[in-house]
Chain A
Amino acid sequence: MRLFLLPLKNAYIGWRRSLTLGTFIFIVSILLVIFNMFIMTVKSNMQNAIINSLTGDIQLRSAGTEEKDMFSTSGNWGKASILDNEQVNTIKNTVNRFDKRIVIYDRIRYNAFFESDKAKDAFMFIGMDPKNDQYKKAFKLEEGRYLEPGNLNEIVLSKTQAKSLDVKPGDNIKAYSKTINGDMVSKTLKVVGIGDFELLSSFSFSVAYVHVESARELAGLRSGEATDVITYIPDKGKTDEIAGEIASSLDKVKLDKSKVKLTTWKDMGGFVMGLITLITMMFYCFIIILMIIVAILIINLIFMIGMERRQEMGTLRAIGFGVFRIVTIFMSEIIFIALSFSILGVLAGAGITLYFSQNPILASPPWDFAMGKRFFFNFDYWQIIYVLGIVMVFTFIASYYPSYKAASLKPVDTLKEE
């Protein structure tokens, strides 16, 4: 143990050099903690937004539909994409039998033409059970209220739609649609709320919410029929596992892949999440560049130390120290500096993220598309250990080769240069 006095003292005596390296390690650690928690939070928020507003955790649809239809206002909701009453009931019963805690709703996605006193526009609407309040977590009201279970003829519009139709809460609009049977139907709906998808608005995704029975009327569906059934499962980590088990349960009641398409939010949100992955990659590229700079710094530093301490190494070799013991001494010095400053860095990063997990960052465009208007960090203690581990492994890798190179010189050569 006393052998480590040497690297500790070297780090202390050469405090300027230690401070230079330490400052870089500190910056990398603090940035890694903040970026990791930021990306983790954005991803989680975005996932929740997609799940709550659109897809649920697991969605069951007619086999004829595609994932991209979830975002489309030009979907062809023909007969092939409708789940009939029996299929919906079988799905619901199967899922309920599987796990009572899974929340399950039938929904209707359809397109219609809407007309107010002043303007007209076509867009997609989602007919849903007003008891399903998951969408409220993603769709933030700016005026009015959400749908109420007892009122069938109501609609909640996005800001874009409200602007396009030039309406406000309390106004009536007329919806025209062609049913799946080809009949034209119309219906008067009262605008009760106007809001927006906080995290999905930048994806040109605009949807209105109506009562599921109104949607059935506009789509020409019979009672119990739906375009899809969505579920919210209590443990999101088990989404794939539960999806697999539901699929095999459905197989047993003859609702196999050819009839019912079962998809998790991961598949359906792929397009949106792809963009998030791109942003994540950009952040990580920045981190990697920073880490490479630190690696170059560490390598240079050790080569410098090696040059400066040639005589010291020669002396250590002469008195019986082997190459790996000298490598250990060298690396201990670097690792001691890295560990000290990395701990300070992750603690500072944790402090900042912890503060912003209680106090929101108010984001303005274009940042609000990824962060929402009020961004709260999701604080995760594991990130501290994770970042500390990454920095230390990185330091270890960066310092090993130059340490080995410096310590491998023949003792007679290092002593010769006195």
Chain B
Amino acid sequence: MIHIHQVKKDYCIGKAFVHALRGINLDIGKGEFLTIAGPSGSGKSTLLNLIGCLDYPSSGEIVINDVSIGGLRDREMNNIRLNTIGFIFQSFNLIPVLNVFENVELPLLIMKGVSAGERKKRVDYFIEAVGLSKQVKQKPSELSGGQRQRVAVARALATKPKIVLADEPTANLDSKTGIEIIELMHEISRRESTTFVFSTHDPKVMQRADRVVRIEDGLIKNGGEI
């Protein structure tokens, strides 16, 4: 499903040259529930951004669903993000002016071949799956942190992606709610056979993952192979 070979990513921050990833090799299979663990600044988010087609690697190869993303143009990257990948963010990243239903519906509005009826059906289904059927008309500002992250989960799943990427999805939640969100994601992963890749540095969250990949100073320390 995801094949990462000798991926490096370098940044220039001012005059400083930062080696964020220094040769990552990682394979992730279909339906895996995998966590990337490591301290702050270890390169977790950079790796997720590259898998998520939000950025290009400096060198190396990333293959997602048999497509190498190295030479893709912006439009093709958009299509992969829309059709293959779902995102869940640490700060939820919901659109504040839209209600729960509209937030979940948003990516479906630009998807080809999804009728209005199908769209509504899917949105209702995933809102119910994350347990927010009673909050469909509410705006993000009227929801708790846990509820907001549930909306983000529903939005990420609405396009029926093959891969869901979550960058520290529990970081802004209390530990009980965080565990609930991870369990919800795990259950959906099993039910929908969706690959979940999420980053965390919370040991309680790591325990829920099928596989833990540890990353330090831009290199995988263990768990890189299936």
Q: Write the residues of chain A forming the contact surface with B, with a CB cutoff of 8 angstroms.
A: 2-3, 5-6, 9-10, 12-13, 311-312, 314-323, 325, 410-412, 415, 418
Q: A314-B93, A322-B74 are in contact. List 19 more A-B contacts (CB 8 A).
A: A2-B105, A3-B109, A5-B102, A9-B97, A9-B98, A312-B95, A312-B96, A315-B94, A315-B95, A317-B54, A319-B82, A320-B81, A320-B110, A320-B111, A320-B159, A321-B78, A323-B74, A410-B55, A415-B93
Smallest CB-CB separation from B75: which chain A residue? A322
Q: Do B95 and A320 have beta carbons less than 8 Å apart?
A: no
**What residues of chain B lie closer than 8 Å to A13, measured between beta carbons?**
96-97
Binary interface encoding of chain B residues 15-41 relative to chain A, with 1 for a CB under 8 A from any of its CBs, else 0: 000000000000000000000000000
Question: Please, how many angstroms separate the alpha-carbon atoms of A267 and B97 in the complex?
Answer: 61
| 10 nearest A-B pairs in the assembled complex, by CB-CB distance | A320-B82, A9-B97, A315-B93, A412-B55, A412-B54, A319-B107, A320-B81, A322-B78, A318-B87, A3-B109
Q: Do A418 and B106 have beta carbons less than 8 Å apart?
A: no
Smallest CB-CB separation from B80: which chain A residue? A320
- What's the least CB distance linking A7 to chain B, in Å? 9
Question: Please, how many angstroms separate the alpha-carbon atoms of A314 and B167 in the complex?
Answer: 14
Does B52 sit at the interface, judged by CB under 8 A? Answer: yes
Does B207 sit at the interface, judged by CB under 8 A? Answer: no
- What's the least CB distance linking A333 to chain B, in Å? 11
Q: Do A415 and B89 have beta carbons less than 8 Å apart?
A: yes
Partner of A321, one of B86, B98, B110, B159: B110
With an 8 Å Cβ cutoff, the count of chain B residues facing the other chain is 31
**What residues of chain B lie closer than 8 Å to A311, measured between beta carbons?**
91, 93
- What's the least CB distance linking B77 to chain A, in Å? 9
**What residues of chain A lie closer than 8 Å to B93, measured between beta carbons?**
311-312, 314-315, 318, 415, 418
Given contacts A3-B109, A311-B91, A311-B93, contact A318 B98 (CB under 8 A): no
Smallest CB-CB separation from B111: which chain A residue? A320
Question: Please, how many angstroms separate the alpha-carbon atoms of A325 and B74 in the complex?
Answer: 13
Given contacts A410-B55, A412-B55, contact A320 B102 (CB under 8 A): no
Question: Please, how many angstroms separate the alpha-carbon atoms of A312 and B94 in the complex?
Answer: 8
- What's the least CB distance linking A355 to chain B, in Å? 40
**What residues of chain B lie closer than 8 Å to A315, measured between beta carbons?**
87, 89, 93-95
